[in-house]
Structure 1
Amino acid sequence: MAITEKAKAYHEKLFPGYVSGFLVTDPEFIERFDNFAFDEVVNCDDLDDRTRFMAILATLLGCQGTDEFRAMLPAAMNFGVTPVEIKEIVYQATAYLGIGRVFPFLKITNEVLAEKGISLPLEGQATTTTENRLEAGSQAQVDIFGENMREFYKSGPGESRHINYWLTDNCFGDYYTRKGLNYRQREMITFCFLAAQGGCEPQLTSHAAANMRIGNDKAFLIKVISQCLPYIGYPRSLNALRCVNDACK
């Protein structure tokens, strides 16, 4: 085996004391994957480990990587991602993936947190009520996308206007207004949800622009794409890069 010392050291940080059975059954594959993911990729830029793992968790939700999510959840906590942050990533995914794809991840999250002795439910993070979620969601859209989004919920043809309304009061009013993650973190994970699931390039371009508008610049988004590439592969990573470039035009 020719796994590099850097890859071995990073793997130990991820999974202290754990020896993968794939070292026995698939040694050549593990050599190449570990050297790539845990040495070449993690050492290619200066993205901090905590941000890297928030992005990876969101990416695994987006690509439906349930087994890898279960494995990476304790690793993310080893690198400082808090239970509240993990829950917020899972909750917000519902707006972009739907409950049908998020439900297994919510179960996994609860199981892993329970295994670690963390009492559930966690402290509530909601800041809106039924009465003010629309107004708060509209303000969140303006804060992130700009003044052109004010009263977006009133726009569109009559037969489908309710969907724009829901985007404001549900997606933004129910999720983006929560504590636990700030706007920049929420836009980053949204970028990861969209990049990882694929087929959402118009929305991905829009959210790339939103990321850059609130401070997650092009260089940062390229770092995020780079760190998530081992988990979603080249086609979706290259699509995400194209959307970032398109958002800069």
Structure 2
Amino acid sequence: MNLYATDKEYKERFDYFLEEVKNDEGNKLDEPTRYLAVLSVLMGNQGICAYEEVLEKALDVLSPVQVKEMVYQATDYLGYGRMLEFLKVTNEVFNKKGIELPLESQTTTTIENRLEKGIQAQVDIFGEHMNEAWKKATVNKWLASNCFGDYYTRTGLDLKQREMITFCFLYGQGGCEPQVMAHIQGNLNLGNDKAFLTNVVLQCVPYMGYPRSLNALACINKVED
């Protein structure tokens, strides 16, 4: 899709804004973090065409494993129904670039210990009270065993990166403010501070638009205050 051929004035102005945001001295992120944030927020807002466009460039600084781990983790926050197209596009881009599939395994848990390991990941992020949270309801048990035991325990991304992309999945799709605020607190607990999360949102503005970006910034301020 060559927008310079069909929509030259628009593309010139949009590309200028991308560079303006990327190079803003007060809100910079390192390139791997910026690409992880942009790709995960595009998954959140279902921007499949933009995701493919960005992924082509992101693979210059992100490893295939990092990208795949982000896509896999989206299952729990977007659902399989909204994640699957992104997995297909990711595999297509990997094939085009000669990246051999399947990638090496990043699994660290078994069916037998996934609940235990997932609970520990929740404790590491949110605190000791999570030791008992899984007992409250069936969905809490699944959160511990599936969301955290199956995904957060995998290698390829660390817990700080996983909490950052979760924040992006959630605010990107909108309407998830309680969960957004819970994972803002999780990010803060791990050392992803207010300034960092603010920069994540600002770097994603061109791909996210202003309404949900402003909502995310409001959530950050509310949790931090």
Q: CA RMSD, aligned part only?
A: 1.0
Larger Rg: 1
1:234 — aligned with what? Answer: 210
2:92 to 99, 103, 111: 111
Deviation (angstroms), 1:49: 1.1
What are the residue-to-residue correspondences of 1:66-145 with 2, within 5 Å? Answer: 66-78=48-60, 80-145=61-126
Structure 1 unmatched runs, 5+: 1-19, 156-160
TM-score by length of 2: 0.97
Which whole-Å deviations, capped at 9, do the CAs of 1:192-227 have from their partners, x for residues lacking one? 000100000000011011101101000000110001
Are residue 40 (structure 1) and residue 16 (structure 2) matched? no
2:45 — aligned with what? Answer: 63
2:11 — aligned with what? Answer: 30
Distance in 2, Cα, partners of 1:148 & 1:211: 17
Q: Alignment identity in percent? A: 58
Distance in 2, Cα, partners of 1:114 & 1:36: 31
Deviation (angstroms), 1:71: 1.1
Q: Which runs of 4+ in 1 moved over 4 A?
A: none
1:244 — aligned with what? Answer: 220
1:17 — aligned with what? Answer: none
1:14 — aligned with what? Answer: none
2:182 to 194, 201, 206: 206
Which whole-Å deviations, capped at 9, do the CAs of 1:17-40 have from their partners, x for residues lacking one? xxx732232222112211111x21
Aligned residue pairs total 223
Which whole-Å deviations, capped at 9, do the CAs of 1:165-193 have from their partners, x for residues lacking one? 00000000000000000000000000000
2:138 — aligned with what? Answer: 162
Q: Secondary structure at the match of 1:154?
A: coil
Structure 2 unmatched runs, 5+: none
Are residue 183 (structure 1) and residue 159 (structure 2) matched? yes
Distance in 2, Cα, partners of 1:127 & 1:67: 33
The amino acid that maps onto 2:58 is: A
Q: Secondary structure at the match of 1:240?
A: helix
